[in-house]
Amino acid sequence: MRIFHRCAVPQLLRSHLGSAEDSHQALGRQPRLPHAGRTRLLRRQGRRPSKGYYTYRRGNWRILVLDSNWSEVGGCGELSPQGSWLKQTLTNYPAKCTLAYFHHPLFASTGAASIEVRPFWDILHDHNADVILSGHAHYYERFARQRPDGTKDLSRGIREFVVGTGRAPPVNPMTSPRAANSVVDSEISPGVTAYGVLRLRLSAGSYAWKFLPVAGETFTDSGTGQCH
């Protein structure tokens, strides 16, 4: 997965998100670096991660990089070091638009959904976040705006994209029916997915997305959204 705002965010953010800064599959397979190794790599790229999670700005956008491999960073709960940092950052540095990305999705039409990241969602929703990007499931799936409890909310809900279409085969077929509020997905037939990357264009007060398939495939998805 790559986010574009005039220039691209570092190549480490690819189509299968790792623990925030880790991408163990980027249009192919890469070995997963230990936590310390990922931190050193990001510093060489000009980032200053604090224990695997950090934030930066892109125009009017606040971008939050979180680590959902909770055992490495002291947990994902609201009272964990990461949860406390997230609340403090969102409170002290408000922005017109907010996007967060981390490896494990809260919602997915596969066994990849992870309730452990619910505290991230609670904090982000309380601070009017707009978009969450996750990976882990080896499919592409877009959800309608929803609250952390799964209730559709087109005014204040968060739009989640699950993007794990970097060529690793799906572990299992997607569930039927799909998870509540699932809008579109890349499954071609049970256990078979289209591959590609998600392009996001972040503008002042809005965003646009488009799924770009690999050569020879036709699945795509596109649209626009307004910030809260």
Other CB atoms closer than 10 Å to residue 37's CB: what's the count?
12
Give the span between the Cα atoms of 173 and 107, in whole angstroms: 16
Q: What is the pLDDT of residues 86-96, one digit of tens each?
A: 999 999 999 99
pLDDT-wise least confident of 2-16, 91-105, 144-158: 2-16
Nearest to 160 by CA among 106, 89, 98: 106
Q: What is the pLDDT of residue 76?
A: 78
153 CB-near residues (< 8 Å, 6+ apart): 145, 146, 147
Higher pLDDT, 1 or 205: 205
Q: What is the pLDDT of residue 74?
A: 76
Give the span between the Cα atoms of 146 and 195, in whole angstroms: 26
The residue written with tokens 């794990």 in the block is 164
Give the span between the Cα atoms of 11 and 205, in whole angstroms: 25
Q: What is the pLDDT of residues 24-40, one digit of tens each?
A: 333 233 334 455 555 55
Nearest to 90 by CA among 48, 122, 46: 122
Q: What is the pLDDT of residue 40?
A: 54
Q: What is the pLDDT of residue 72?
A: 73
Higher pLDDT, 24 or 205: 205
Question: Which H/E stretch holds residue 141?
Answer: strand 140-143
The identity of residue 67, as a single letter, is: D
The identity of residue 11, as a single letter, is: Q
pLDDT-wise least confident of 29-43, 142-156, 205-219: 29-43
Q: What is the pLDDT of residues 149-199, one digit of tens each?
A: 999 999 999 999 999 999 888 888 899 999 999 999 999 999 999 999 999
1 CB-near residues (< 8 Å, 6+ apart): 13, 14, 15, 16, 17, 101, 133, 135, 161, 163, 197, 198
Complete domains list, the chain, with CATH: 10-192 (3.60.21.10)
